[in-house]
Amino acid sequence: MPQAMRDIKRRIRSVSSTKQITKAMELVSSAKLRKAREKLERTRPYFNTVVRSIQQILSSTEGIRHPLLEKREIKKTAYIVVTGDRGLAGGYNSNVIKLVENEVDGNKENTVIIAVGLKARDYFARRGYEIGGEFLHISESPEYSDAAKIGKLVVELYKEKKVDEVKLLYTHFKSAISFNPEVLRLLPAEEIKNNNDVKRNTLIEYEPSPEEVLGYLIPKYVQSAIYGGLIEASASEQGARRNAMQSATDNAEEMIEGLKLKYNRARQASITQELSEIVAGADALK
């Protein structure tokens, strides 16, 4: 067998092995995506209920004061950045990171990064950003306890006036092929009362006081919003990885078909050459 044909067969085996890996990863991501979507559907009603409750309290109580509602001059901002711990997910991680850089706009001295996922931690640590917290190996299967830890951290930073604003940057899941990075401002929580659907003329009494109720409810809102973002991002990551692996598998199949065609042509040329040599040898014997 000519050397060129051996090289082509070696490449076909190599691409076939890669195709098996990408196909397996595609199947695994599809299974994880299905579970993440089910979790997402269970999470959204809880988050919506908490948001409506806080909106109702803020809209029905005039002059309420609370540290987590306090607006102040924005000198330092904390960004909760949700990325994955692994790559091979197309533009999933880079799109979130790009959104953060657009938000920061070069003002990294007044920025604190709360990194969720190895990709966010490594990227911003290498570039000299202040890392206020890191939560690793939770991106694919987040739990509410993870969101509670992140929420407790950012609430303390805000209460202690180490930051003046907290934003959550995550990837919102729309469908298996559509997911977009988004920004959600968590603190101060004053902005969540701006909702026209809330009836402002309803008389509501709170025990022991609206401030006490908000002191319990706003941290729950922050934790619920973070948990919702983690679940949205988890589903988006699996969708992005499945799409990336599907594209890789399709590309591998195209390469294999092209290499097979090239191999057959080389084989045909080799056979033609051998026949020509046989015919030439027969003519020489006459």
Residue 50 lies in a domain: yes
Angle between helical axes of 210-285 and 92-104 (0-180°, round to 10): 130
Residue 131 lies in a domain: yes
Residue 252 lies in a domain: no
Residue 146 lies in a domain: yes
Which CATH number goes with the domain that contains 155?
3.40.1380.10
pLDDT at position 52, please?
75
- CA distance linking residue 178 with residue 239, whole number of Å: 8
Residue 124 lies in a domain: yes
Structure token pair of residue 122? 């490594």
pTM metric for this prediction: 0.83
Residue 214 lies in a domain: yes
Report residue 180: phi and psi, to 5°: -125, 140
- Structural domain that includes position 190: 25-244
pLDDT at position 163, please?
93
First to last CA, the chain: 29
Give the torsion through C-alpha atoms of 105, 107, 108, 112, to 10 deg.
Answer: -90
| pLDDT means over runs of 10, the chain (286 residues) | 78 90 90 87 79 70 72 90 91 94 90 95 94 93 93 93 93 87 86 54 68 82 89 92 91 90 82 74 68
77-82 and 178-187 beta bridge pairing = unpaired
Residue 160 lies in a domain: yes
Most distant CA pair in the chain, distance = 116
Give all strands of the β-sheet with 130-135 in edge-to-edge order: 130-135, 111-116, 77-82, 165-175, 178-187
pLDDT at position 183, please?
93
pLDDT at position 101, please?
94
pLDDT at position 196, please?
44
Long-range own/partner contacts, residues 95-100 (CB < 8 A, 24 or more apart): 95/171, 95/180, 95/181, 96/120, 96/169, 96/170, 96/171, 96/181, 97/123, 98/181, 99/169, 99/181, 99/182, 99/183, 100/124, 100/169
Q: Into how many domains does the chain fold?
A: 1
- CA distance linking residue 208 with residue 197, whole number of Å: 26
- CA distance linking residue 158 with residue 15, whole number of Å: 52
How many CB atoms lie under 10 A from the CB of residue 33? 22
Residue 188 lies in a domain: yes
